[in-house]
Amino acid sequence: MIIEHVEVRAVEIPLKATFRTSQSSQDSRRSLLVHIVTDASEGWADLSVEDEPIFGHEFIGATWVALEELLIPALRSGALGSASHASERMRGVVGHPSAKAALELALLDAELRTAGMSLSHYLGGTRERVDVGVSIGIADSVGELIGTVAAFLEDGYGRVKLKVQPGWDSEPIRAIREAFGAELDLQVDGNGAYRSSDLRHVASWESFALTMIEQPFAADDLASHARLGARITTPVCLDESIASAAGAAGAVSSGACTVVNIKPGRVGGYLEARRVHDVCQALSVPVWCGGMLESGVGRAANLALASLPNFQFPGDISATSRYFAEDICPPFVLTDGKLDVPHGPGIGVEVDPQALDRFTVRCVSL
């Protein structure tokens, strides 16, 4: 496989509503799209990084430089046997896992299109449809939050995840439980906003019968997560702390979590994401697929990943209409709380060139 052309685009797609977490607020989704043309096919990837280094060290500006000056030149130095070969070649550059993940996926998409194989099949997926949930940002009031949750339940979502932060946690969680009952599959996500001194407060959420508590403490604070897990029966899930299969194994063995949220960009690609899945499966630890408000390109790839057997909880993938009035790919539609896994070659979706041009704010061809 020989790379003939690489295009990197910064795209900005308006969100239907502002999405707030403990760390950021977004009115549009900015991300980088990678398009690679090889001597046999072409491939696409959605590189999910933030405008600023909020959840990790990566951000769009630095990632653009890493792609243009380091990673793409490393791949163009000779023929590639496969996407796996490309991953090995990029190991010479330290860090930038999301950038590496995007290049690996674009090459894997091209490789699988040539072979006529879907990404789901290649990864070992066993499902044609997957359960998905909805992630709800921090609202201006409890009343607004209740209305938002009610609307998503009416749409057919069976699992709700609330973003929380100090000062916006117990009250909204209690209100949702009282409004929708104990049968609602409800979990919360702190995005690392709490400190070790907040442990008793976070542990008090045990009374809300949550499906899980996701990443209340900082990514490097496994000790506080382990202490929390020892005090409550509610499962503790790690997200920002999980950067590799080895890291997942270490976090589980330390007692820091009993559930793992896999984000392909954070762990360096879908091949490493599969290894995280396999390690957790061997340790009898269930996983689920996180989301970064991806375009249809990233949504398709995440659905393929979520079709693997150890993805036991609904992912933050959601239907296209959850976030966008218009996307760069045909919309994914929610039916009975599930989304269809694409089964066409590669990631299984095609990019609309006209929509892509409308949302592009910068483009570089190499």
Is 92 inside any structural domain? yes
Do both 207 and 280 map to the same domain? yes
Do both 57 and 188 map to the same domain? no
Which entry of 16, 100, 163, 338 is annotated as an active-site residue? 163
Q: Which residue shows structure tokens 């693997």? A: 308
pLDDT at residue 23 is higher than 90: no
pLDDT at residue 360 is higher than 80: yes
Distance CA 335, CA 273 (A): 26
pTM greater than 0.85 (yes/no): yes
* Residue 101 confidence (pLDDT): 94
Is 44 inside any structural domain? yes
Q: Which two tokens stand for residue 117?
A: 């194989």
- The pLDDT tens digits of the residues spanning 132-156 come to 999 999 999 999 999 999 999 999 9
Q: Residue 94: which CATH number?
A: 3.30.390.10
Write down the mean pLDDT value for the chain. 94
* Residue 22 confidence (pLDDT): 63
| Contact residues for 217 (Cβ-Cβ < 8 A; gap 6+) | 190, 192, 194, 195, 196, 224, 225, 228
Do both 90 and 159 map to the same domain? no
Q: Is 89 left (phi over 0), alpha (psi -120 to 50) or beta?
A: alpha
pLDDT at residue 25 is higher than 80: no
Distance CA 61, CA 272 (A): 24
| Contact residues for 11 (Cβ-Cβ < 8 A; gap 6+) | 30, 31, 32, 33, 295, 328, 356, 359, 360, 361
pLDDT at residue 201 is higher than 90: yes
For the residues 315-328, what does the mean pLDDT come to? 95
pLDDT at residue 78 is higher than 70: no
Do both 206 and 311 map to the same domain? yes
pLDDT at residue 258 is higher than 70: yes
Domains held by the chain: number: 2
Is 345 inside any structural domain? no
Do both 199 and 309 map to the same domain? yes
- The pLDDT tens digits of the residues spanning 110-127 come to 999 999 999 999 999 999
| Contact residues for 115 (Cβ-Cβ < 8 A; gap 6+) | 345
Q: Does the annotation mark 100 as catalytic?
A: no
Which entry of 100, 161, 263, 338 is annotated as an active-site residue? 263
For the residues 176-196, what does the mean pLDDT come to? 97
Give the domain range for residue 108: 3-116+350-365
pLDDT at residue 207 is higher than 90: yes
* Residue 203 confidence (pLDDT): 98
Is 290 inside any structural domain? yes
Is 277 inside any structural domain? yes
Of all residues in the chain, the percent with pLDDT exceeding 90 is: 83
Do both 92 and 156 map to the same domain? no
Do both 169 and 310 map to the same domain? yes
Is 330 inside any structural domain? yes
Do both 297 and 163 map to the same domain? yes
Q: Does the annotation mark 16 as catalytic?
A: no
- The pLDDT tens digits of the residues spanning 223-256 come to 999 999 999 999 999 999 999 999 999 999 999 9
* Residue 189 confidence (pLDDT): 98
Pairing of strands 236-238, 213-214: parallel
| Cα end-to-end distance, the chain, whole Å | 17
Q: Which residue has the higher pLDDT, 321 or 26?
A: 321
Is 199 inside any structural domain? yes
- Which pLDDT band holds residue 79 (cuts at 50, 70, 90)? confident
- The pLDDT tens digits of the residues spanning 157-177 come to 999 999 999 999 999 999 999
